[in-house]
Amino acid sequence: MAAGAVVATALLVLAAAAAAVSGLPAINVTAMVFEEGYAPLFGQDHILRSADGRTVSLLLDRSTGELS
């Protein structure tokens, strides 16, 4: 498939997705600090919270979240 055809296909898919989503009702999302909506059971040392409580980073290593 030529590069132009790939771009045209991608644009067509994007336009179809935008048309499908435009008919959906808006979702009302309320922001909250991390502690209000989440209580970690373990691994607290793998959670980095921002100073304002608006963002959280999860630190993953080989032992964190690894499937057995």
The per-residue pLDDT for 25 is: 75
Q: What is the DSSP string of 38-67?
A: ---SS-GGGEEE-TTSS-EEE---TTSS--
Whole-number Cα distances in Å, 49 to 10, 44, 54, 64: 37, 10, 8, 18
pLDDT tens readout for residues 23-66: 767 777 787 777 787 888 877 888 888 888 778 888 887 776 65
The per-residue pLDDT for 17 is: 75
Per the confidence metrics, is the pTM higher than 0.75? no
